[in-house]
Amino acid sequence: MELLLLSNSTAPGRGFLEHALDEIADVLQGRKRLLFLAQASFEPEQYTRVMEEALQPLQLEVVSTHAGADPAAELEHADAVFVGGGNSFRLLNELQQLHLLESLRTRVRSGMPYLAASAGTNLACPTIRTTNDMPIVQPSSFQALELVPFQINPHYLDADPASPHLGASRSQRISEFLVQNDVPVVALREGAWLRVSGSSAIVAGAADSRLFARGVDPVDLASGSDISTLLQTRPRYDTPLS
């Protein structure tokens, strides 16, 4: 598989996807027809226009499933797919209703590049349980694409010791997840991404990432760190610590 899983679409002081455009071009390797899934957004038409403009330097044909075309047919004819950000629960629910999950999983596992940001990155995991989003809708299940066998937390924020009144930190939330589930969590700070190519998995970008796992202290991952061993993970959900 070829995966590019971004924490975010827009980096401070940069245009939409500008911080990752070279990496996107490298993943696509000249492919021309990109299917954009904007179902996580409440403004899919505007989101698609922003995506088209951002990817214009790559001379891509960007096709969106919200525009009335047959989503399954568009997926069948796509050279690559980009799943955009927004609300992860809405995204999963919409793709379940469109009956796209299984065919999308099959295409990606057969070699079609999967690019994503934010909610789309959550969708690449076995479940969306480590999203930061509010459950504004109720999908039929939390099961996602399982393109990687571990969880990802995009938009990871470090706790601010000067503001304890802000409530539970992101690391606390992930620690709570690990009490109930024995699955590593790769936390991507803003500007970071995960690139998977075959048996290789590298965290890269303009920021470091952080690895959480049950029973051990979190480990910071410098940009360029190889985490390929995590591709051998056997996730165990709903296995609370006794």
Catalytic residues: 118, 133, 155
Q: What is the rounded distance in angstroms from the CA atom of residue 14 to the CA atom of residue 223?
A: 19
Whole-angstrom distance between the N-terminal and C-terminal Cα of the chain?
36
The tokens describing 198, both together, are 């075959």
What sign has the CA pseudo-torsion 199, 20, 72, 112?
Answer: negative
Answer for the pair 35, 74: CB distance below 8 angstroms, yes or no.
yes
Q: What is the rounded distance in angstroms from the CA atom of residue 12 to the CA atom of residue 89?
A: 26
Q: What is the rounded distance in angstroms from the CA atom of residue 190 to the CA atom of residue 93?
A: 26
